């Protein structure tokens, strides 16, 4: 379908090239994600791809995650590191400000590209790569805000994944491991807040006793695709470690400095991996609103070219992704469009040109009959606005 490539010989393994159609789809996914986050009270960030190596020593990644990081590179007299995570950069932005308890919670989100060293034998298409984009977000909040913030994340996760057809979730709660940081009271409060959020959401969940990270408990969410495979995408992680390591502070009502609670969360996880899951889930037959080419115009004869070009112009003005194919028999034009899984095909002959109509055939449901040109445009515009799957 010419959506992406991985050019191992020319460039290197595990690095994804988004081709025009794939890039278009990625842009739509990102815009949907960003718009929804802005509606939910998040602010958007952009952070660099590299930072001083000392940053990763402070964060602990240099000690706990070194085998998945690329070696530092020297720039003049200092060592820099490709980022394997976005969180220390979000922390750096927090440290650049001054916050009171009235400012919290703060919700920051970023489509941030990270780089991790994956061994050549472990890489697998879009599912395991060396450079990928995380739909990362970090929430800085007060202890009593944890449950509400986690519930908000679960609601947002359900809305975003549901829009892409994923509604069957497997949920796991991972609790305090044997080796951990933070005092008992904080852990008890955090685990209680996660349980409260899950109960308020009404989701069944399994407990992975001791399966949390050393710096906080977490919730993991797996989705089920069209053929029953489960995929780990979404995660919500409480963190007591980075606020301590980076000396994060806010001022409470008594003007005393306190540590904020930090929540890490991702919904897609890796945008590349999620796109791979989407492609396989739909077997390439993407929903109408998301398809890279929504409409293909199929002229039967050259005499209808002016009308077909007018249809294309009007569709593009309405925000519809449309192309024209010619120079083949009609049966082959239709067959090629179906092989490429174009959702809507519009056959145009002399009768359609004379009547101002389009004869519609859809990939999902076959022949639909003749429609006025404007009716076709209006139906697809409505489908786009409502994120509909079909014509």
Tens digits of per-residue pLDDT, 139-181? Answer: 999 989 999 999 999 999 999 999 999 998 999 999 998 877 7
Q: Could you confirm whether 116 is annotated as catalytic?
A: yes
Are 111 and 185 in the same domain?
yes
Residue 241 lies in a domain: yes
Backbone angles phi, psi at 320, to 5 degrees: -95, 135
Determine whether 232 is an active site residue: no
Q: How does 163-193 read in b/e, with b if 16+ C-beta sit within 10 Å?
A: bbbbeebbbbbbbbeeebbbeeebbebbbeb
Residues 257 and 168 occupy one common structural domain: yes
Q: Is residue 106 part of a domain?
A: yes
Q: Beta strand 261-270 with 131-141: parallel, antiparallel or unpaired?
A: antiparallel
211-215, 231-235, 311-315, 369-373, range with the lowest pLDDT: 211-215
pLDDT in tens, 89-146: 999 999 999 999 999 999 999 999 999 998 988 888 899 999 999 999 999 999 899 9
Boundary of a domain, candidates 248, 281, 314: 281
Judge if 159 and 21 occupy the same domain: yes
Active site residue 87: yes
Catalytic, out of 176, 218, 273, 321: 218
CATH classification of the domain holding 375? 3.40.50.800
What is the CB-side half-sphere exposure of residue 185 using CA atoms within 13 A?
2
Catalytic residue among 264, 273, 296, 361: 264
Closest CA to 271 of 19, 38, 27: 27
Least confident of 58-62, 200-204, 290-294: 58-62
Whole-angstrom Cα distance, residue 34 to residue 201? 23
Same domain, 33 and 158: yes
Q: Could you say which of 81, 107, 136, 273 is catalytic?
A: 136
Q: Rounded distance, CA 209 to CA 176, Å? A: 7
Do 240 and 106 share a domain, yes or no? yes
SS3 113: strand
Q: Is 136 a catalytic residue?
A: yes
From start to end of the chain, where are the E strands?
Answer: 4-6, 16-18, 43-44, 50-52, 73-75, 78-82, 106-115, 131-141, 169-174, 206-208, 218-224, 230-239, 250-251, 257-258, 261-270, 295-299, 322-324, 344-348, 357-362, 366-372
- pLDDT digits over 266-277, tens only? 999 999 999 999
**Six-digit token string for 179:** 């080796």
- For residue 128, give the CATH number of its domain: 3.30.930.10
Query: Pick the catalytic residue: 116, 296, 321, 361?
Result: 116
* Catalytic site residue from 90, 130, 138, 296: 138
Contact (Cβ atoms closer than 8 angstroms) between residue 158 and residue 296: no
Is 218 catalytic? The answer is yes
**Full DSSP string of 73-106:** EEETTEEEEE-S-SHHHHHHHHHTS--BGGG--E
């Amino acid at each position: 379908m010419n959506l992406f490539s991985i050019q191992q010989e020319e460039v290197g393994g595990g690095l994804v090239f988004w081709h025009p159609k794939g890039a278009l789809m990625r842009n739509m996914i990102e815009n949907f994600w960003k718009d929804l986050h802005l509606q939910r009270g998040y602010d958007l960030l952009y952070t660099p791809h590299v930072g001083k190596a000392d940053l990763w020593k402070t964060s602990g990644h240099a000690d706990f995650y070194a085998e998945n990081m690329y070696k530092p590179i020297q720039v003049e007299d200092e060592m820099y590191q490709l980022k394997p995570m976005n969180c220390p950069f979000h922390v750096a932005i927090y440290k650049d400000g001054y916050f009171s308890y009235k400012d919290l919670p703060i919700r920051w989100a970023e489509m941030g590209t990270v780089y991790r060293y994956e061994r050549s034998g472990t890489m697998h298409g879009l599912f395991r790569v060396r450079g990928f984009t995380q739909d990362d977000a970090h929430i800085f909040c007060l202890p009593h805000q944890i449950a509400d913030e986690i519930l908000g994340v679960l609601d947002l996760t359900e809305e975003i994944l549901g829009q892409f057809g994923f509604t069957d979730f497997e949920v796991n709660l991972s609790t305090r491991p044997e080796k951990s940081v933070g005092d008992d009271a904080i852990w008890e409060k955090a685990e209680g807040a996660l349980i409260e959020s899950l109960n308020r959401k009404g989701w069944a969940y399994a407990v992975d006793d001791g399966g949390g990270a050393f710096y906080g408990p977490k919730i993991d969410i797996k989705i089920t695709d069209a053929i029953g495979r489960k995929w780990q995408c979404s995660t919500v992680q409480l963190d007591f470690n980075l606020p301590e390591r980076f000396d994060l502070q806010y001022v409470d009502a008594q003007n005393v400095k306190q540590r904020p609670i930090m929540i890490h969360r991702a919904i897609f996880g890796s945008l590349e991996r999620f796109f791979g899951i989407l492609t396989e889930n739909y077997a390439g037959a993407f929903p109408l609103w998301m398809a890279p080419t929504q409409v293909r115009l199929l002229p039967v004869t050259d005499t209808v070219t002016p009308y077909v070009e007018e249809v294309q112009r009007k569709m593009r003005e309405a925000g519809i992704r449309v192309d024209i194919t010619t120079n083949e028999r009609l049966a082959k034009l239709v067959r090629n469009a179906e092989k490429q899984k174009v959702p809507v095909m519009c056959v145009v002959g002399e009768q359609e040109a004379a009547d101002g109509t389009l004869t519609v055939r859809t990939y999902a449901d076959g022949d639909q009959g003749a429609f006025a040109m404007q009716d076709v445009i209006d139906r697809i515009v409505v489908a786009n606005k409502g994120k509909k799957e079909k014509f």
